[in-house]
Chains A and B, each alone.
Chain A
Amino acid sequence: MAAGTNIALLEASERAERRRFLALPMPALLLTAVICIVPVGILFWVSFVGPEGFTLENYTRILENPGYLKILRTTFSISITITILAILLGFPLAYYISTLPDRAAAICLGLVLVPFWTSLLVRTYAWLVLLQRQGLINDFFLWLGVIDEPMRLAYNRFGTTIGMLHIVLPFFVLPMFAAIKSLDRDWLRAAANLGASPVRAFWTVLVPLTIPGLVAGALLVFVYSLGFYVTPEILGGGRVTMVAMKVQQNATIYADWGAASSLALILLIITLAIFFGIERVLRRQRGGGN
């Protein structure tokens, strides 16, 4: 048979196959479009429309009102603190679990996941039971005689940070565990064999090779922290106001949907900017080798 036989037919069959594969994620794509993109589009619209048509009033107010800036600053500084703490606590934990035999590792991961199976509200109140003035922790230290009067653990930034950290930690440990587990164990053995102490091997081999997992986990934790509402509301005792709480106030107490939308959009835009910024830095690092 001559060269060139069946070309058109084979191309058509490849196109048909690609179309069939595209059909598989279609339901998910449609659902996302309806329940995510459409509402965000409406928010966007509402934030630019006042009683007299198009307006930037919602945005200029946020930039001019120091109260709003303070809320944004609080939101980001709490989220950054929590991200750093999650890395400091989660990395060693993920590393330790990765060295355990399969069965023990499964049990430990199960324990890490337990917080996922309880309601966020329940967990937050549980922290209140522990941290409040007559809570378990204060009672214990008073009984020991380490302190003379109860410490202020709840209804402030400290309590908020602890409560949020507990909730977001699994989001860091899981991707970190996956990243460490996928490492060739021989890399760490080679580092040791070549004379690197465990600490040195950690910094020169384990950390550089698990950066993608670390960044993925840290981003998840950071972005999730930005949107917290219930935990700072309960554990902050009115002293900690995060963006989501202000959005809720504007929408339900003042019925000012324009103000609520603009704040939500600003948070979304800053988050996306950070996300793409980190993505870019990472890609450049990987491209440059070494």
Chain B
Amino acid sequence: MSDARGQTIAIRGLGKRYGTVEALAGVDLDIHRGEFVTLLGPSGSGKTTLLMALAGFIRPTEGSIAFGGQEVVTLPPHKRNVGMVFQSYALFPHMTVGGNVAYPLRVRRMPRAEIGRRVADALALVRLSEFAERNIDQLSGGQRQRVALARAVVFHPQILLMDEPLSALDKHLREEMQIEIRHLQRSLGITTVSVTHDQREALTMADRVAVLNKGRLVQIDAPERLYGAPATSFVAGFLGETTLLDVRVENGVALLAGQALRSEQRIAGGDRPLHLVLRAEKLEIVERHDQPGYNVIPAQVRELVFQGDSLLLYVEIADGRRIALRRPTAGHRSQAALQPGASIHVALPVQETLIVPCDRDA
């Protein structure tokens, strides 16, 4: 089914103001055919506003949205021909599962036989063939999710939008559905934009993740790049378990509490405040203060938390700032040596030493 399904989406200079509040500002975004892009950001970042503008439920103040080269910014929602999975699923309670999935086809006045065939196909796609006659209130959360998905793709739209599609499911089911949606999206080849505030969900499902903050697009990249090379401190702090420490730059060398940091990155000087990115799982504990290939920071253990698969440590560096770091539980011969008050050497591999411009509020 991966024929010409899937249109490009081109967003140019999109902005939405509510009074003096800018919900979206100057968003430029190109999404390829069949690509899965996830909009990631905290609440109020504008990610939902952007999705609603794509669906046509919010009229932007300025800018352009084109599907497959066609301008759609003034097109009402019922003429956009995009599928959407709502956060609440929005399944019609007065119709059966089959009735819900048939709705977009009935609205398009398709012949009965065709409707029957397509509904059966769509329900088979989400493995709910036996459920056509059920009422919505007889379904579990995961089943409702799949009905919503079937209803959103049954009319073969070229674009699929999903608003926090998995937020109502429990953790186990959520992870299962992430993979299932991913497979479905790939096999249909449908261009997909989803919204989430769950970084793990974004990294798991998307080809590219677009990070939004305060109505602006901060960075869009493949998950590995986004995690490995965050553009700003906001992106770095939003993904992963991260401590951000501001550093000074003198003669092109970053200084943390007076200590020079080695890095493979070229450090841009200037007046912009810079942050050192410390990922909890990338930090190691070493014996020697001059471990080759590492930046070694002396610190004192403040808190030690046993979390089953790992140990979480809060340590304090020389100038009193705190860093979170995570070690595997296995080989915790040294756990005794990590009790609060113990002096240790925290080591950050030189190739993982990231210094990014600061774009967060103080």
Q: Do A and B bind each other?
A: yes
Smallest Cβ-Cβ distance to A196: which chain B residue: B107
Contact of B78 among A184, A186, A196, A205 (CB under 8 A): A196
Q: Contacts A184-B88, A190-B90, A194-B151 hold; do A290 and B83 have CB atoms under 8 A apart?
A: no
Q: Does B141 contact A (CB under 8 A)?
A: no
User: Roughly how many angstroms separate A289 CA and B96 CA in the complex, as a whole number?
Assistant: 8
**Is the beta-carbon distance between A193 and B92 smaller than 8 angstroms?**
no
- Which residues in A have their C-beta under 8 angstroms from that of B131? none
**Is the beta-carbon distance between A195 and B96 smaller than 8 angstroms?**
no
The size of the chain B interface, using a CB distance under 8 A, is 30
**Is the beta-carbon distance between B88 and A193 smaller than 8 angstroms?**
no
Contact of A194 among B94, B96, B104 (CB under 8 A): B104
Q: Does A189 contact B (CB under 8 A)?
A: yes
Q: Does B202 contact A (CB under 8 A)?
A: no
**Is the beta-carbon distance between A200 and B107 smaller than 8 angstroms?**
yes
**Is the beta-carbon distance between A192 and B92 smaller than 8 angstroms?**
no
- In angstroms, how far is the closest chain B Cβ from the Cβ of A224? 29
**Is the beta-carbon distance between A205 and B92 smaller than 8 angstroms?**
yes
Q: Does B193 contact A (CB under 8 A)?
A: no
Q: Does B314 contact A (CB under 8 A)?
A: no
**Is the beta-carbon distance between B78 and A197 smaller than 8 angstroms?**
yes
**Is the beta-carbon distance between A195 and B81 smaller than 8 angstroms?**
yes
CB proximity to B under 8 Å, residues A97-140: none
Q: Contacts A189-B57, A189-B86 hold; do A290 and B95 have CB atoms under 8 A apart?
A: yes
CB proximity to B under 8 Å, residues A180-207: 184, 186-187, 189-198, 200-201, 204-205
- Which residues in B have their C-beta under 8 angstroms from that of A204? 103, 107
The size of the chain A interface, using a CB distance under 8 A, is 21
**Is the beta-carbon distance between A193 and B94 smaller than 8 angstroms?**
no
Q: Does B328 contact A (CB under 8 A)?
A: no
**Is the beta-carbon distance between A192 and B76 smaller than 8 angstroms?**
yes
Q: Does B155 contact A (CB under 8 A)?
A: yes
| Interface membership of chain B positions 82-122, coded 1 if the CB is closer than 8 angstroms to chain A and 0 otherwise | 11101110111111100100011001100000000000000
- Which residues in A have their C-beta under 8 angstroms from that of B82? 193
**Is the beta-carbon distance between A193 and B55 smaller than 8 angstroms?**
yes
Q: A187-B92, A189-B90, A195-B104 given; name 14 further pairs at CB < 8 Å.
A: A186-B88, A187-B90, A189-B84, A190-B90, A191-B78, A192-B76, A192-B78, A193-B55, A193-B82, A194-B155, A195-B79, A196-B107, A289-B94, A290-B99
Interface residues, chain A, with chain B CB atoms under 8 Å away? 184, 186-187, 189-198, 200-201, 204-205, 208-209, 289-290
